């Protein structure tokens, strides 16, 4: 017969996970010594260097506190129960040291050179940096993703949905990543390793490090409200600053696009317009001012936009878009925003985007109604010609100059284009691809229509390659039948 020694949860990892032990001993101290023989390091959790019971530990013999008996010299006999009751603070009661030991048991560690050869072997392995964002921005192991330790439980499942996928964790020195590994294990992740010595150890071995481009202090202030949105954050803002957007026209649709894209931090805006500011433009074309009537619209736009965001780079194209200059003008841009007011330009823009594989954000307005969509020939989405294989005859397609337009309507449609542009650049949300959104200002109604990719589209589905540009003026001046 022996004494039953009950182990509290925080100490179980030191005795092989047992919640109680049966020990043959004749005093409390003797019991602890026996346990120490089997599980070295255990006794120091209970007693200090002098061999005295630690202040935050109570040991009960049956229901008596041994401090009120003979303390460690208290005799025990067969059938007695000894219980260790440590102070707990509501949580698991685990101390840092006990957690760390548990983590070391459960999370295998690799040194930097071992991790490097795992990475080089091209076996699937997700590198997860659990340092704070600020530390990550100073430099990280190439290919890593960053989920700060404090956000681990909240964000890791969205970033690494597959719990079978092997993950290598690292922090600065190797401690936070071990604890993070324990958390991931509890969340069901199966294959976790931790980098011993952390990023600092990795850098000391002169292994490769990526130093990311970061926002300047000034940019952090200016785009603070974007940085607060997790979907955009610093990464998204850098994408915007590095992006190049071409606006076709600086008229009704181009103006709100230009204003908001410049404000949101798109780094480079190209402006295509050969027109001059007319008094009748001022009803809606808000980049231009009364004192600039007669001036080229592109120059007027530059004047407004550079006062608004001095860091914006503007590339002006004061020329009419034609099939002979369209590829030169489009070449350097990531997204084309169509704010044109005529069909020849609209078809030309579509055809060039199909040929060059560039996304086109489409907007158009007529009196009280507007349309928006995103045509992206680089994936399986339809193009403008899938929606409208041919332009309407001129008698059915009056321009704004002929038919008129509500002055604020291009603001609504242009800003929907700007939103789609930002979504495309940052890769967030669901793009308006394969969908036509219409807005009726008189009824205040949005409607959405599905646009199918036309398998016989002469442009985006052409098997023989790009069919060539056509005479767009002629294409749009022919009356049907």
Q: Which stretch binds Zn ion (CB under 5 A): 65-73, 117-125, 129-137, 452-460?
A: 452-460
**Cβ-based nearer residue to Zn ion, 15 or 387:** 387
Q: Which stretch binds Zn ion (CB under 5 A): 14-22, 139-147, 166-174, 454-462?
A: 454-462
- Rounded distance between C-alpha atoms, residue 449 and residue 408, angstroms: 23
- Rounded distance between C-alpha atoms, residue 305 and residue 410, angstroms: 18
**Cβ-based nearer residue to Zn ion, 91 or 455:** 455
15 touching Zn ion, by CB under 5 A = no
Give the 3-state secondary structure of residue 97.
helix
**Cβ-based nearer residue to Zn ion, 15 or 386:** 386
**Cβ-based nearer residue to Zn ion, 460 or 476:** 460
381 touching Zn ion, by CB under 5 A = no
Strand-strand pairing, 192-195 and 109-110: parallel
For residue 435, give Cα distances in angstroms to 125, 138, 343. Answer: 37, 41, 20
Closest CA relative to residue 118, chosen from 162, 160, 167: 167
Q: Which stretch binds Zn ion (CB under 5 A): 10-18, 59-67, 82-90, 457-465?
A: 457-465
Q: Which stretch binds Zn ion (CB under 5 A): 6-14, 123-131, 194-202, 449-457?
A: 449-457
269 touching Zn ion, by CB under 5 A = no
* Helices within 336-464 (DSSP H only): 343-356, 384-387, 400-403, 409-426
Whole-number minimum distance, CB 456 to Zn ion, in Å?
Answer: 9
Whole-number minimum distance, CB 279 to Zn ion, in Å?
Answer: 39
Q: b/e map of 63-98 (b: 16 or more CB within 10 Å)?
A: eeebeeeeebebebeeebebbbebeeeeeeebeeeb
Q: Which stretch binds Zn ion (CB under 5 A): 137-145, 194-202, 330-338, 459-467?
A: 459-467
**Cβ-based nearer residue to Zn ion, 141 or 374:** 374
383 touching Zn ion, by CB under 5 A = yes
Residue 402: Cβ within 10 Å count? 8
Whole-number minimum distance, CB 374 to Zn ion, in Å?
Answer: 13
346 touching Zn ion, by CB under 5 A = no
Closest CA relative to residue 268, chosen from 326, 317, 334, 224: 334
How many binding residues for Zn ion (CB under 5 A)?
5
**Cβ-based nearer residue to Zn ion, 25 or 386:** 386
Interface residue with Zn ion among 28, 240, 460, 476 (CB under 5 A) is 460
- Rounded distance between C-alpha atoms, residue 376 and residue 453, angstroms: 11
Whole-number minimum distance, CB 350 to Zn ion, in Å?
Answer: 8
Whole-number minimum distance, CB 455 to Zn ion, in Å?
Answer: 9
Closest CA relative to residue 287, chosen from 306, 311, 264: 306
386 touching Zn ion, by CB under 5 A = yes
Q: Which stretch binds Zn ion (CB under 5 A): 127-135, 150-158, 381-389, 428-436?
A: 381-389
Q: Are 372 and 362 in contact (CB under 8 A)?
A: yes
**Cβ-based nearer residue to Zn ion, 129 or 351:** 351
Sheet holding 435-440, edge to edge: 313-317, 268-272, 244-248, 335-338, 360-366, 369-375, 435-440, 445-450
| Contacts to Zn ion by CB under 5 A | 383, 385-386, 457, 460
């Amino acid at each position: 017969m022996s004494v039953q020694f009950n182990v509290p949860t925080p100490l179980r990892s030191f005795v092989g996970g047992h919640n109680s032990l049966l020990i043959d001993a004749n005093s409390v101290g003797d019991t602890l010594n026996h346990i120490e023989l089997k599980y070295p390091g255990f006794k120091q959790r209970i007693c200090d260097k002098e061999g005295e019971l630690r202040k935050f530990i109570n040991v009960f013999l049956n229901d008596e506190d041994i401090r009120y008996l003979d303390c460690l010299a208290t005799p025990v006999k067969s059938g007695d129960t000894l219980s260790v009751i440590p102070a707990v603070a509501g949580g698991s009661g685990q101390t840092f040291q006990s957690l760390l030991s548990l983590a070391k048991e459960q999370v295998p560690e690799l040194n930097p050179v071992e991790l490097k050869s795992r990475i080089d072997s091209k076996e699937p392995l997700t590198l997860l940096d659990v340092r704070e964002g600020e530390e990550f921005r100073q430099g990280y192991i190439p290919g890593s993703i960053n989920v700060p330790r404090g956000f681990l439980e909240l964000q890791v499942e969205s970033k690494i949905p597959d719990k079978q996928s092997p993950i290598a964790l690292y922090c600065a020195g190797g401690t936070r990543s071990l604890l993070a590994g324990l958390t991931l294990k509890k969340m069901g992740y199966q294959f976790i390793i931790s980098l011993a010595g952390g990023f600092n150890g990795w850098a000391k071995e002169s292994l490769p490090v990526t130093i990311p481009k970061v926002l300047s202090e000034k940019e952090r202030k200016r785009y603070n409200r974007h940085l607060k949105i997790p979907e955009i954050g610093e990464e998204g803002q850098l994408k915007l600053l590095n992006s190049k957007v071409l606006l076709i026209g600086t008229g009704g649709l181009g103006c709100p696009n230009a204003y908001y894209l410049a404000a949101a931090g798109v780094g480079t805006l190209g402006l295509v317009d050969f027109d001059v500011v007319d008094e009748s433009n001022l009803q809606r074309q808000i980049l231009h001012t009364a004192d600039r009537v007669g001036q080229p619209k592109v120059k007027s736009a530059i004047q407004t936009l550079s006062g608004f965001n001095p860091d914006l780079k503007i590339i002006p194209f004061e020329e009419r878009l034609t099939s002979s200059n369209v590829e030169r003008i489009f070449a350097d841009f990531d997204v084309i925003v169509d704010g044109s007011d005529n069909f020849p330009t609209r078809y030309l823009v579509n055809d060039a985007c199909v040929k060059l594989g560039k996304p086109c954000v489409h907007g158009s307005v007529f009196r009280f109604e507007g349309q928006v969509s995103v045509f992206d020939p680089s994936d399986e989405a339809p193009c403008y010609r899938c929606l409208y294989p041919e332009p309407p005859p001129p008698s059915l397609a009056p321009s704004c100059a002929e038919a008129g337009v509500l002055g604020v309507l291009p603001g609504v449609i242009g800003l929907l284009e700007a939103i789609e542009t930002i979504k495309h650049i940052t890769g967030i949300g669901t793009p308006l691809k394969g969908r036509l959104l219409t807005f009726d200002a008189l009824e205040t109604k949005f409607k959405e229509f599905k646009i199918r990719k036309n398998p016989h589209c002469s442009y985006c589905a052409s098997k023989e390659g790009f069919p060539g540009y056509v005479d767009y003026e002629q294409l749009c001046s022919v009356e049907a039948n």
